[in-house]
Amino acid sequence: MSNVPFDGPIFDGLILGAHLATLDGANGYGEIADAALGWRDGVLTFVGPRSQLPGAPDALAREVIEADGWITPGLVDCHTHLVFAGERAREFEMRLQGASYEAIARAGGGIVSTVRATREADEAELLRQSLPRARALLADGATTLEIKSGYGLDFANERKMLRVARQVGEALGITVRTTYLGAHALPPEFKDRAEDYITAVCEWLPRLHAEGLVDAVDAFCEGIGFSPAQTRRVFDAARALGLPVKLHADQLSDLGGAALAAEFDGLSADHVEYTSLDSVRTMAAHGTVAVLLPGAFHVLRETKLPPLQAFRDNGVAMAVATDCNPGTSPLLSLRQAMQLACTHFRLTPEEALRGATQHASRALGLHDRGVLRVGMRADFVHWNVGHPAELCYWLGGQLAHGIYAGGRRL
């Protein structure tokens, strides 16, 4: 309940009657029935039963909304690559017809095709192509997005991607956290010179950070990506600037990537299908979040499950994200990612919802959202559902009735 004295309107807005899934507690949805949710200056100032309001609603708030259904925290998509040019639908078709990754690459496809298209697009064109993807995520409840670079693979184009990511947040009125992923793949001009390329990636980072374009640093630590030693060089450069790190870790093999991220007190290790028990324990010791990416698991028809029970047993928070990208996870709904996490990974609907709110916020280093609690940012979604489990039950459909970021309806 608010501590603001009752001397006139104390809320900018007040929603009455809906059920709240506050997620404020270790277990359960934190349900409040016939609730009141009030906010002022973009911050929640009342979360509780309607009966506990300190006066008549019309006298308390500038705007009063009667509602039914459920309200949850705004969804947080903590792992996306949504800024890119072009698409790779033809490759999807080729894979289904039996073409290998190598054959697709020889035909000019794969990540190199996205790099080429992204380099060719100017800033305005890149924004034009990226905004519809961001709007799709927002329409299904996402009020905070992480967006990575990694399809530029040179200074000018990595900078362009990060600038466009910032513009996405400004255009839509939502929070966008930018992640520098220069160590995503080896560009053609550095063929067989991975060490030289990592040197360049580390040299670009301070310049991009000085322009205010980098919130975190990521890398792809994998046999087809970069080695743990090369990843460590990137993380050392990030640490020198005081920047947090994240990591594409253990997706295709166990190179100890999750443990490496945790060693640097990483915000998250993402994918983590092959993460070992020792690495899980290291993540637990450092508070590193496991980000589950069921979209890529689904599209690639993988069978190796992440160590889900080990994460539970060791108290490692599990976030859920779309991994929205043109090659392996062309997924434009975080709610659909939640559904896939339940179907493929056997998460409960409550775990999936926490994964896309509370734990996803932690995976971005954001502690002012993810639960409905007085003092938190007024990011929330009003859903036309009879129970929160429906958010993971329905395959598609429009369930979001009202989406609010900082107390402003989007």
Binding residues for Zn(2+): 79, 81, 248, 323
Maximum CA pair distance of the chain? 71
Tokens standing for residue 257: 């990537």
Report the binding-site residues for Fe(3+): 79, 81, 248, 323
Helix residue ranges per DSSP H, 212-370? 228-240, 257-263, 277-286, 294-299, 308-313, 334-345, 349-355, 358-363
Structure tokens at 276: 């070992």
CA distances from 12 to 45, 374, 409 (A): 10, 14, 12
Residue type, 2: S
Structure tokens at 2: 């608010």
Tokens read off for 85: 């040019």
CA–CA distances in Å: residue 74 to residues 92, 150, 152, 234, 354: 32, 27, 30, 32, 11
Give the whole-angstrom CA distance, residue 245 versus residue 239.
8
Alpha carbon 198 to its chain centroid, in Å, reads 25
DSSP state of 189: G
Q: Give, in order, the Cα–Cα distances in Å from 277 to each of 156, 231, 257, 305, 355.
A: 40, 21, 13, 13, 21
- Residue 251's identity, in one-letter code, is Q
Counting Cα atoms < 13 Å in the Cβ hemisphere of 59 gives 8
CA pair distance 231, 368, nearest whole angstrom: 30
**Residue list, annotated binding site for 4-imidazolone-5-propanoate:** 88, 151, 184, 251, 328
φ/ψ of 39, rounded to 5, equals -145, 160
Give the distance from CA 367 to its chain's centroid.
14
- Residues making up the binding site: 79, 81, 88, 151, 184, 248, 251, 323, 325, 327-328
Q: Say if CB 46 and CB 3 are below 8 A apart.
A: no
Tell me the binding residues for N-formimidoyl-L-glutamate.
151, 325, 327
Per-residue b or e along 94-121, where b marks 16 or more CB atoms closer than 10 Å to that residue's CB: bbeeebeeeebeeeebbbbbbbebbbeb
Please give the structure tokens belonging to residue 32: 């409040």
Number of residues in the chain: 410
